[in-house]
Chain A
């Protein structure tokens, strides 16, 4: 009897340890109290579980995408006046070097990455439907970075980045199927960066790309108990 109890306790502790190991790093989120305005703190507290689910979903199901520290939160886009608060997500995409990708101009690489990641990430961000009707949520920001393919071998790596700002009605239209991704690119604001150098606002021609919903990383096994859709 005592042996069985001991075994049960050991099994329970292993399950608990497994649960802890499977959790994504919490520091990817900006904690509610670290936001600079009451509006932002209130939003971050209200949607804390939704942000955790967003973090966990990307962590387990899109493992080639990295979320850095404090990359998810209700940030204020710096180019907008007032205290507009956008649910913001910054990701870095790790991908194999590709001569075809490297041969594109920056705007074309930016359009490719927009087409591949912005729609899919937006759907994940808006999975908690209440955000799409909450007037306190002014919009959504998706920042996508990738390794600049034309950098010299052996030199310090350089990231290229696009920052995409979408007012809430644009995001709501896209998630509801009333707008296509090329409409999103046209109605939103996109800014480009080469390393730390701003390249200004971009006009991107985006297209539907099913990569995120169809690609499976070779031999990758999600942690036990994780289901990816």
Chain B
């Protein structure tokens, strides 16, 4: 049987260990939404444009977003099915 001061110490240690860390459930949700800040460039873009401000979108922003392929590969018809070089 642990004494009250020891129990207090253990509870405090557990609190310190978990504070600021995501739970496994939170990590699972985050992993499912891996599009968030997929890269540093996206982070910079998001950081530059905050709510309440007029966002600035350059052509380079659009291009980077595509190159990072946020939404995965799609099922589509191959060009060779329609056209020949």
| Residues of chain A having any CB pair with chain B under 8 Å | 21-22, 30, 34-36, 40, 59-60, 63-64, 66, 70-71, 73, 75-78, 88, 90, 141, 143, 145, 147, 156-159, 161, 163, 191, 193, 195-198, 217-223
Contacts and interface: CB of A to CB of B under 8 A. Distances in A.
Interface residues of B, number: 23
Nearest to A60: B59
Contacts of A64: 62
A220 B56 CA distance: 6
B73 interface: yes
B2 to A, nearest CB: 46
B79 A219 contact: no
Nearest to B80: A78
B74 A196 contact: no
Given A90-B79, A157-B71, A219 B56 contact: yes
A180 B52 CA distance: 43
Contacts of A36: 84-85
Interface of B: 54-60, 62, 66, 71-79, 81-85
Candidate in A34, A35, A75 with the most chain B CB atoms within 10 angstroms = A75
A75 B56 contact: no
Contact of B57 (A35, A59, A219): A219
A56 to B, nearest CB: 11
A78 B82 contact: yes
A11 B48 CA distance: 26
8 contacts: A71-B79, A75-B84, A78-B84, A88-B83, A143-B79, A145-B76, A219-B57, A220-B62
B85 A75 contact: yes
